[in-house]
Structure 1
Amino acid sequence: MQRIRLYAAFVLLVNIGYFSLRIWFGCVDRIPNVSPPGWDFAVFWSASWLALHGPAASVFDTALIERIALPLQNMLPTPFVTPWTYPPTFLLVMLPAALLPFPVSCFVYVSAGIFFAYHLCVRILPAVQHPSWWLPVIAFPALWVAAGAGQNSFLTFGIMGLGLIALDRRPWLAGVCFGLLAMKPQLGLVIPIALLFGRHWRAFVSASLTVGVFCALAGLVLGFDTFARFAQALPAFSQFVVEYSDRWPRGILTVFGAVRHFGVAVTTAYALHAVVATLAAGAVAWLWATRASLDLRASALVLATLLVPTYVMPYDLLWLGLPILWLVRDGARNGWLRGDGVVMVSAWLSPLIFYTPGDWAAGIYVPVIVFALLVVVVRRCLAQRVAHASDCASTVSACERSGSNVYSR
């Protein structure tokens, strides 16, 4: 543990250094195209402002939203546009944001998200409250990336984790949590597979109803035309991602993005991505159908959620904290296998790719690490099944010997 704290202290200094540079060059010295903390929240706040001051559907007008967001981001217009690509459900969540000045709103939003996420971490692994654990948790690079961006990762992290914790004892609450992820639909693609193969019918029904109510409420408040505009904007953004996928700064953190970086054709890239996504979804289906432990089932679901979409960004890697916590808990209960620690540490370090120069495209290696961690989960499940079968066989053998001795007497 002492060595882990030492490494975590070094990474924490790197995080603080990068964050400080962002503040200095983005807020104080104001070098163009160096964004201060809250660069992604600037888009959320701008969308809120447009929705509060005019038709909510205007948030899908990139020219309008960039007029507000780019000055907040300290950015000049570039080919990498700053569009609003979220569904009306998330716009409903962010609607009050512009009621406060941008810096205050960003601070409140990020602080509340961090508090929610930390509370969830304590629920998963109570040892996080101990001072010896604070350093590895605070130094987790994805925490700084998500906080610096002002992203919604803390909110979705907490909702997903709470849903998985509540699933066995409070399935209706779990379903509500899963349904709320409709604010970022790509993060809910694998959840139906887990619920159906795990035979969690009440949670599945609850999630479906929540999605319906959430969408209806968003339509009533913002106007149902926002869904039509979202449907129109999504293909354009997808085409933009495909067009720039082979030269995306730091790479797109998926199999699709990785193979596109190496010049593979779009069709082949989609096919290779589909193979890995199918394997990940298959692992989830197997673990949930066979009722593996919650630690392993939940870990597999989160990891597959990061492998199935074709578009994942560095701030989304905050979700890696969930399987890391669950695997630490599982390791404390069932012991460790050789190589587990190396993969887990690699996953913990992987968000550092955000600090690398954009032309390095270091993110292309992230899906390899995420898939390796999924292999760790599957291997641990198989090893535990073998150990359990061996224990049962030993118990039966002992009982037979005991019965034979009694009979012989």
Structure 2
Amino acid sequence: MKAATPAEPRRAWASGFTLLNDRRFWLAFAFLVTLLGFPRGMLTGWITRTGEVYSTTHPGGGDFIVFWIASRMLLEGHLSGLFDPSQFSRYIIDLYGSDFGVRWLYPPHFLFLLAPLGLFPYLVAYGLFMGGSLAAFLFVAARVWGDRSVALWLLIAPVTALGILIGQTCFIVGALFVAAIYLWDERPILAGILLGLLTVKPQFGVLIPLVLLLERRFLVIAVASVTATALIGASILAFGIEPWRAFLFGLQDPTGAILLSERDAFLSVQMTVYGAARYFGLSFAAAAGLQGMSALFAVGSLVYVTLSSARRDTKAAMLVTATYLTLPYVLYYDLAAPTFVALWLYFGHGRRARPGIAVSALLVGVASISFINGAATTLWHVNVAPVAFLALAVFLIWSVGRETSPGFDRFENARP
């Protein structure tokens, strides 16, 4: 029998640690650490604390109070007060003794989705809204992915815990955004309908028309336009023109107060270049200038990637990334779509080769950025969230060169 060389015992010893070489282990480990520690201390402490970002002086769900109150006001015939910040505040104070600093900032046709919630007690409505929207997001993710495995990862992802605890619209936005851009090749009519529905939070579709025009997806554009027009028209028929006038011209003060806020607790959970610059202490003008530069870089990068012959999933990832680099206002619960993109790239979905260690670490960071940013703001008073999106954009630009090179494997160039 051949004697073992000195290298063989080392290989045998290393083989006992194959779990540590499994990217599923490291992703699960990162998500576990996040769930135990985001964003400022142990999770249980975060749930029960009170303050500017989250409050437990009313039943759970944090921001869900906005949607439930909106439904109640609509059903009780107080629609005009919904778009009046002072009346909206008084309505909440009458119920809970404090308005928690929240306001209604959404277009009138969003009320079609929210109207039934006011028929139920707060906690029942909260469960229905969050449970239904999360189920929709997981269904869409599994449909786009091709199997249910991604749903398990999304269930333990930071965005899911944050979305549920805060009671926000992240799952609705994620489902509409992901389904539309990943399915518009095979289901252009459905994609157009979903993009029309995405106008309930229109800022997340800011770059989609550009991509649709560059790729000459005129059917998607037409269906999305018809869907959005129908929703707006239906809301005018149902509620009148006044809510739209108030939405377009009457919410400048609360919107401006959000963008001009100097509260550290608020700026520390913004995921944008503007938010990071303001948190660092820069003036509004300087932060806006940096945000403008970020938007120019994002749009230029998006045009370059879209017009290239790179893989379809690379283009979809660039659209999501560019959107988050363009918007001046994104909070830490608005990360459903970037989390899906990070998982797709991290597992090398539909590809022969998975990313290396450095890129894998970046993608885990993007999927866990709420915790990483929470730790960075706590320890060093630095908002690092936009750095992750900038790095992801650079990686995707680099990927175009690789995917369009003459020696690139044809299998890799095929659409997933």
Flag the 1:375–1:75 CA change in 2: closer, same or farther, 3 A: farther
How much identity, in percent, do the aligned residues show? 25
Letter in 2 for 1:239: G
Quick one: distance in 2 between partners of 1:46 and 1:361? 38
Letter in 2 for 1:151: Q
Aligned pairs (5 A) from 1:145-164: 145-164=162-181
- Select which of 171, 175, 182 maps to 2:199: 182
2:304 paired with 1:281:
no
2:230 paired with 1:207:
no
Deviation at 1:196, TM superposition (A): 0.8
Deviation at 1:382, TM superposition (A): 1.6
Provide the secondary structure at the position in 2 that maps to 1:333.
coil
Deviation at 1:22, TM superposition (A): 5.7
Provide the secondary structure at the position in 2 that maps to 1:86.
coil
Q: Structure 2: which 5+ runs fail to align?
A: 1-21, 411-416
Quick one: distance in 2 between partners of 1:390 and 1:126? 25
Report what 1:117 is aligned to.
Answer: 137
Report what 1:42 is aligned to.
Answer: 65
2:76 paired with 1:53:
yes
Deviation at 1:21, TM superposition (A): 4.3
Q: After alignment, is 358-367 or 229-238 more displaced?
A: 358-367
- Select which of 84, 104, 108 maps to 1:88: 108
Quick one: distance in 2 between partners of 1:382 and 1:338? 20
Q: Structure 1: which 5+ runs fail to align?
A: 393-409
Report what 1:142 is aligned to.
Answer: 159
Q: After alignment, is 286-295 or 172-181 more displaced?
A: 286-295
Deviation at 1:246, TM superposition (A): 6.3
Deviation at 1:261, TM superposition (A): 2.1
Letter in 1 for 2:283: A
Quick one: distance in 2 between partners of 1:95 and 1:88? 11
Provide the secondary structure at the position in 1 that maps to 2:282.
coil
Letter in 2 for 1:88: P
Residues 271, 330 of structure 2: 8 Å contact kept: yes
TM-score by length of 2: 0.82
Flag the 1:158–1:182 CA change in 2: closer, same or farther, 3 A: same
> Deviation per CA, 1:248-290, whole angstroms, max 9, x where unpaired?
5224321111112233232232221111112112222222222
Residues 320, 338 of structure 2: 8 Å contact kept: yes
Q: After alignment, is 98-107 or 374-383 more displaced?
A: 374-383
Q: After alignment, is 325-334 or 374-383 more displaced?
A: 325-334
Deviation at 1:380, TM superposition (A): 1.6
Flag the 1:365–1:390 CA change in 2: closer, same or farther, 3 A: closer
Residues 246, 257 of structure 1: 8 Å contact kept: no
Report what 2:6 is aligned to.
Answer: none
- Select which of 9, 31, 45 maps to 2:32: 9
Quick one: distance in 2 between partners of 1:104 and 1:70? 21
Provide the secondary structure at the position in 1 that maps to 2:250.
helix
Residues 299, 323 of structure 1: 8 Å contact kept: yes
Q: After alignment, is 326-335 or 82-91 more displaced?
A: 326-335
Aligned pairs (5 A) from 1:2-401: 2-14=25-37, 20-21=44-45, 37-69=60-92, 76=98, 81-126=101-146, 128-129=148-149, 134=152, 136-245=153-262, 247-249=264-266, 250-328=268-346, 330=348, 333-335=351-353, 336-337=355-356, 339-352=358-371, 364-386=383-405, 388-389=406-407
Residues 75, 115 of structure 2: 8 Å contact kept: yes
Deviation at 1:189, TM superposition (A): 0.3
> Deviation per CA, 1:17-43, whole angstroms, max 9, x where unpaired?
9554466567xxxx9766653111111
Flag the 1:65–1:372 CA change in 2: closer, same or farther, 3 A: same
Quick one: distance in 2 between partners of 1:357 and 1:331? 30
Letter in 1 for 2:85: T
Quick one: distance in 2 between partners of 1:363 and 1:238? 24
Flag the 1:239–1:93 CA change in 2: closer, same or farther, 3 A: same
Provide the secondary structure at the position in 2 that maps to 1:315.
coil
More helix by share: 1
How many residues in Structure 1 have an aligned counterpart in Structure 2? 381
Report what 2:10 is aligned to.
Answer: none
Letter in 1 for 2:257: F
Deviation at 1:291, TM superposition (A): 4.4
Flag the 1:381–1:32 CA change in 2: closer, same or farther, 3 A: closer
> Deviation per CA, 1:301-347, whole angstroms, max 9, x where unpaired?
11122121111111102222221133135465142245211110111
Flag the 1:323–1:168 CA change in 2: closer, same or farther, 3 A: same
Deviation at 1:358, TM superposition (A): 8.1
Deviation at 1:193, TM superposition (A): 0.9
Report what 2:3 is aligned to.
Answer: none
Q: After alignment, is 258-267 or 274-283 more displaced?
A: 258-267
Residues 73, 82 of structure 2: 8 Å contact kept: yes
Quick one: distance in 1 between partners of 2:47 and 2:330? 25
Flag the 1:179–1:310 CA change in 2: closer, same or farther, 3 A: same
Q: After alignment, is 300-309 or 282-291 more displaced?
A: 282-291
Flag the 1:9–1:357 CA change in 2: closer, same or farther, 3 A: closer
Quick one: distance in 1 between partners of 2:154 and 2:222? 35
